[in-house]
């Protein structure tokens, strides 16, 4: 099986890559490794949804992959999802895509610039309706995400986005990855480890090393069960 692993930064999957065997450089930002019986192409897309959408689409258009995995860290709105928890994000949305109307926010669908179910959207969200059958993946908590350009760190904006979208977690890349995979018709999964609770910026409470370690452990199990 040929697997595409997408990550914003190399550090987020450092322990995973350390357990793979390098085989070739495949071009800008892509390196091929051997992982058991699988070929694993690792794409380090860079941070943000623009870079992610562009690079993932370029890679998927250029070569066939049987599965794409988006691996990274995220912030959690749900305090029961403690830092270090690994989750499977099964639906995501572009939380900032829309317009302000005074204190209100109108989504791109509410503006009637995009239909709720216009491909690749389902009910205004990007939904993974057919995740790969995988015991390791199936054991993760399935959650809803939002993707943002600016991560939340103010009580008022956190309250507003929670009311609008009821997200469990947020990232800066997830929806862009899902959009590209849905467009290209490639099976995929977005798997992230919680590095912090979404609150006023408090780096002292983050558990980034623990999140990265658990993410790589989980990703290794997912790949081993393919």
Query: What's the pLDDT score for residue 205?
Result: 87
Query: What's the pLDDT score for residue 204?
Result: 87
Tokens of 150: 């600016």
Using the CB atoms, write b or e for 93-106: b if 16+ within 10 Å. Answer: bbbebbeeeeeebe
pTM score:
0.96
Query: What's the pLDDT score for residue 9?
Result: 98
Q: Would you say domain 2-224 falls under CATH 3.40.50.1580?
A: yes
Contact 71, 13 (CB under 8 A): yes
In tens digits, what is the pLDDT along the chain, a chain of 226 residues?
Answer: 999 999 999 999 999 999 999 999 998 999 999 998 999 999 999 999 999 999 999 999 999 999 999 999 999 999 999 999 999 999 999 999 999 999 889 999 999 999 999 999 999 999 999 999 999 999 999 999 999 999 999 999 999 999 999 999 999 999 999 999 999 999 999 999 999 999 999 888 899 999 999 999 999 999 999 9
Query: What's the pLDDT score for residue 113?
Result: 95
Count H helices and E strands in the chain, helices first: 6, 12
Going from N- to C-terminal start, the domains of the chain cover 2-224
Query: What's the pLDDT score for residue 103?
Result: 86
Contact 123, 144 (CB under 8 A): no
Using CA atoms, how far residue 224 sits from 3, 123, 188, in Å, is: 12, 33, 16
Peptide bond into 120 cis (omega under 30): yes
What is the DSSP code (8-state) at residue 155?
A: H
Separation CA 210–CA 16 (nearest Å) = 13
Query: What's the pLDDT score for residue 148?
Result: 98
Residue that has been written with the tokens 């099976």 in this structure: 187
């Amino acid at each position: 099986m040929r697997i595409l692993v997408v990550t914003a930064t190399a550090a987020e999957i450092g322990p995973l890559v350390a357990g793979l065997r390098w085989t070739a450089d495949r071009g800008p930002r892509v390196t091929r490794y051997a992982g058991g019986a699988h070929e694993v192409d690792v794409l380090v897309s860079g941070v943000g949804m623009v870079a992610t959408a562009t690079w993932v689409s370029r890679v998927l258009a250029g070569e066939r992959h049987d599965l794409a995995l988006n691996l990274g860290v995220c912030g959690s709105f749900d305090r029961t999802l403690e830092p270090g928890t690994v989750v499977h994000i099964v639906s995501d949305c572009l939380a900032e895509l829309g317009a302000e109307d005074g204190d209100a926010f109108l989504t791109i669908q509410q503006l009637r610039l995009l239909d709720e179910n216009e491909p690749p959207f389902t009910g205004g969200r990007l939904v993974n309706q057919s995740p790969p059958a995988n015991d390791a993946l199936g054991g993760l908590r399935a959650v809803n995400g939002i993707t943002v350009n600016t991560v939340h760190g103010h009580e008022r904006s956190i309250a507003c986005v929670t009311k609008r979208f009821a997200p469990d977690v947020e990232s800066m890349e997830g929806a862009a990855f899902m959009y590209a995979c849905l467009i290209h018709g490639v099976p995929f999964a977005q798997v992230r480890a919680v590095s912090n609770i979404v609150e006023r910026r408090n780096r002292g409470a983050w558990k980034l090393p623990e999140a990265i370690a658990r993410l790589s452990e989980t990703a290794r199990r997912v790949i081993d069960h393919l």
